[in-house]
């Protein structure tokens, strides 16, 4: 699966970093997004969703609601099949907007989904 990690961090203790590592370990094609970084764990980091060169299956959010408004247009243009709002990133208004255009959403922890074998089933 092609997965964008929105708000990836260089810090190993951050959940976004752990998600990147676990997604790679599980064999997913990962596209980290953070305008302040160039690489994490040897993987190229993209400044925006618009720069990702492939069609995405999943976008997993590690950005708070206040910072999400900046990426809505790119997210709608990317048209991923599924968006995961991790704890602390829940945004019912954005989820409703995504659902209206056929993008499924869920409030869940990507790490838990991966650890329990439910990531591929949920997405």
Find the CATH number of the domain harbouring 44: 3.40.50.720
pLDDT of residue 122: 65
In this prediction, residue 123 carries a pLDDT of: 65
Structure tokens at 46: 């993209």
pLDDT at 120: 86
* Unique residue bearing structure tokens 């999943």: 58
Range of the domain at 48: 2-122
Q: How far apart are CA 90 and CA 106, in angstroms?
A: 9
Check: pTM over 0.85? Answer yes or no: yes
How many domains does the chain divide into? 1
Block means of pLDDT (10 residues each) for the chain, 123 residues, are 97 98 97 97 96 97 92 95 97 97 97 94 68
Please report the DSSP string for the chain in residue order.
Answer: -EEEEET--S-TTSHHHHHHHHHHHTT-EEEEE-TT-SEETTEE-BSSGGG--S--SEEEE-S-HHHHGGGHHHHHHH--SEEEE-TT---HHHHHHHHHTT-EEEE--HHHHHHTT-HHHH-
pLDDT tens-digit readout, 69-93: 899 999 999 999 999 999 999 999 9
């Amino acid at each position: 699966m092609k997965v964008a990690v929105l708000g990836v961090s260089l810090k190993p203790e951050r959940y976004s970093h752990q998600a990147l590592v676990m997604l790679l370990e599980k064999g997913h094609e990962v596209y980290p997004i953070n305008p302040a970084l160039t690489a994490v764990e040897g993987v190229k980091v993209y400044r925006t969703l618009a720069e990702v060169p492939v069609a995405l299956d999943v976008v997993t959010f590690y950005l708070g609601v206040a910072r999400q408004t900046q990426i809505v247009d790119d997210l709608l243009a990317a048209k991923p099949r599924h968006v995961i709002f991790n704890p602390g990133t829940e945004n019912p208004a954005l989820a409703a907007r995504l659902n209206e255009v056929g993008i499924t959403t869920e409030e869940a922890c990507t790490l838990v989904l991966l650890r329990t074998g439910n990531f591929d089933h949920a997405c």
